[in-house]
Structure 1
Amino acid sequence: MSRSDQNFENHGKVVPAYHYWMGPMLMLPTLYFFVYGVVIDFSFAGLVSFVFSVGVVFAAFFARVFALGVQDRVIRLEERMRMERLLPEDLKHRIPEVTTEQMIALRFASDEELTGLVFTALSEGISDRKTLKQAIKNWRADNQRI
């Protein structure tokens, strides 16, 4: 997708191998180990297999959560630097008031409309990502998000 093709409707990224395959591939064995190895034909080995498979599910879940957390921190740093460069002096002192949620949404705003959107977000207390993204007129694509 080129930079100009991204917009509010299509900016979400879905990786089919992760979002559609990995979940069932991890959950089905976990369900099997629980039903067969713990409930129907209890054995210590079945219990260990179930506990291990639950651990694998948790590891996969938290790997994704932690990766998104790191990306959010990077976005926050990038947007703080961008705001320092673009905002007028009367708004620069309010940069610490901009929440991570607001920065994640405002990263899609063009340089020209960033000042107005930051002012609106802070003065009206808009912190919902979706609301801020919908207010953006000139979309600035983020093709690096994983």
Structure 2
Amino acid sequence: MTEQNYKNHRKFYPPHHFIYLPLLIALEIYGIYKIWDDAGNQLTWVLFSIVIFLLFYLAFMTRQHYALGLQNRMVKLEFKQRYFEISGQRSDEIADQLTFDQIAALRFAYDDEFKELLNKVLQKNISGDEIKRSIKNWRADNQRI
């Protein structure tokens, strides 16, 4: 496995992203094409296209909703635990000042940079993407969903 960094930290699930969703997209395109090509069965192809679109939407949203919802909760808990371990103080007030994007970006920094970047975020309110770009020594997260 290659070393994780800003450019390659996104993750794909091949059966979902490269087989199931493209297949649904192809079926949707085919259904829309058949609406105009097969005038005798136009209503059937409209219904077919609607069903395929709903399957695509449901597959996309369900996967995103459950996985990201759980992952976001864990990222916030990880931030609170890490902040406590580094500072010895509760993080409730600090966590309330940060967006989720900022909290998520901070997890890619090792402890020495974490403190520096957290102070920078609190003072200048930089975005999560700016935090990621500022990390000098990337801390890989290979267990994301």
TM-score interval for Structure 1 and Structure 2 normalised by the shorter chain: 0.7 to 0.9
Report what 2:123 is aligned to.
123
Q: In structure 2, what is the Cα distance between the partners aligned to 1:10 and 1:34? A: 35
Matched residue SS, 1:143: coil
Deviations 1:89-137, CA, capped at 9 Å, x for gaps: 5x8742321211001100111112211110101101102x221012112
What runs of 5+ residues in structure 2 fail to find an aligned partner?
none
Matched residue SS, 1:9: helix
What residue identity is the alignment partner of 1:27?
Answer: I
Matched residue SS, 1:109: coil
What residue identity is the alignment partner of 1:39?
Answer: W
Report what 1:111 is aligned to.
111
State the percentage of identical aligned residues: 33
Q: In structure 1, what is the Cα distance between the partners aligned to 2:92 and 2:60? A: 37
What residue identity is the alignment partner of 2:49?
Answer: F
Counting matched residue pairs gives: 142
Report what 2:17 is aligned to.
19
What residue identity is the alignment partner of 1:85?
Answer: E
Aligned pair partner of 1:31 in 29, 32, 41: 29
Q: In structure 2, what is the Cα distance between the partners aligned to 1:11 and 1:60? A: 23
* Matched ranges for 1:32-111 at <5 A: 32-36=30-34, 38-40=35-37, 41=39, 42-66=41-65, 67-87=67-87, 93-111=93-111
What residue identity is the alignment partner of 1:73?
Answer: R
TM normalised by structure 1 equals 0.81
**Cα drift, residue 65 of structure 1:** 2.4
What residue identity is the alignment partner of 2:36?
Answer: V
TM normalised by structure 2 equals 0.82
Distance 1:27 1:62, change over 3 A: same
Deviations 1:58-104, CA, capped at 9 Å, x for gaps: 01221232122331222122112211221365x87423212110011
Contact (CA 8 Å) 1:83, 1:95: kept in 2 or not?
Answer: no
**Cα drift, residue 45 of structure 1:** 2.8
Report what 1:8 is aligned to.
6
Q: In structure 1, what is the Cα distance between the partners aligned to 2:110 and 2:71? A: 20
